[in-house]
């Protein structure tokens, strides 16, 4: 949907996400379930489930710019990933603590056919840090990189997705923000023209006046950028913006 600007793909992504959030996400506790069958959701999620859903929510936010998806991604990172985090040594266990059926808790660090939960969680935290400006997300991601640094030096080909997070860490946060009075084809066109550049580590935002109140509690830096005219484009690096470009 982001690349092709195809409404049916966005609609399919939103339907899939709404099913997961309504049937398999417990908003009161922050618990995510991993199995749905015959109308019943069950089995507490593993690290992978939380990390990949956070990434999906961030992708969906940057496709439709509905702040509720960003809000849930933040919640899953704060309450969800906390269930698995090794707060002392960094990185994440695949399972929660206290499960009597487990002999030991492992930290998966191999990116095979699918990226490992640790690689996905680290990438998710870095992305959240550059979207929200919350340094605690970045600190947790950096601690995870440090935990696997020896493995990355000795066998980098075993964790290519984690290496992509190293690239994001080295490049630092970058934000592309289109601030507009209301959503319009013209505002979307300006954002899409900017997206045609190769900016693999940039986060993109389309922020209307109506989006500001909710976004202010999640990403205050982005929400605080003022609209100078009908549409204003900001290009920022590490939360420092170039001179804005105004459009009628």
Q: How many helices (H) and strands (E) does the chain have?
A: 10, 8
Q: Which residues of the chain have pLDDT under 70?
A: none
Global pTM value: 0.95
Tens digit of each residue's pLDDT (9 = 90 or more) over 132-171: 999 999 999 999 999 999 999 999 999 999 999 999 999 9
d(CA 52, CA 114): 10
Residue 79 gets which letter from DSSP?
A: I
Residue 179 gets which letter from DSSP?
A: E
Neighbour tally for 141: CB within 10 Å: 23
pLDDT of residue 104: 83
pLDDT of residue 103: 76
pLDDT of residue 133: 95
pLDDT of residue 203: 96
d(CA 20, CA 107): 26
């Amino acid at each position: 949907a982001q690349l092709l600007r195809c409404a049916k793909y966005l609609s399919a992504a939103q339907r899939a996400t709404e099913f997961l959030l309504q049937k398999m996400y417990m908003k009161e506790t922050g618990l995510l379930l991993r199995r749905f069958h015959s109308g019943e959701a069950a089995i507490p999620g593993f690290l992978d489930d939380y990390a990949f859903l956070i990434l999906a929510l961030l992708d969906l936010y940057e496709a439709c710019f509905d702040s509720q998806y960003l809000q849930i991604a933040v919640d899953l990172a704060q309450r969800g990933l906390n269930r698995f985090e090794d707060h002392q040594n960094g990185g994440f266990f695949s399972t929660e603590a206290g499960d009597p059926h487990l002999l030991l808790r492992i930290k998966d660090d191999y990116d095979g056919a699918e990226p490992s939960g640790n690689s996905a969680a680290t990438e998710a935290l870095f992305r959240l840090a550059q979207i929200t400006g919350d340094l605690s997300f970045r600190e947790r991601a950096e601690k995870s990189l440090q935990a696997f640094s020896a493995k990355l030096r000795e066998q980098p080909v075993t964790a290519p997705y984690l290496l992509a997070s190293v690239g994001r860490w080295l490049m630092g946060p970058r934000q592309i923000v289109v601030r507009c009075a209301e959503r319009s084809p013209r505002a979307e066109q300006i954002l899409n023209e900017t997206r045609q550049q190769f900016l693999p580590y940039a986060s993109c935002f389309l922020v209307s006046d109506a989006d500001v109140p909710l976004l202010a509690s999640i990403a205050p830096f982005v929400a605080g950028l003022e609209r100078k005219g009908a549409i204003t484009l900001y290009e920022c690096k590490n939360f420092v913006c170039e001179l804005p470009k105004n459009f009628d």
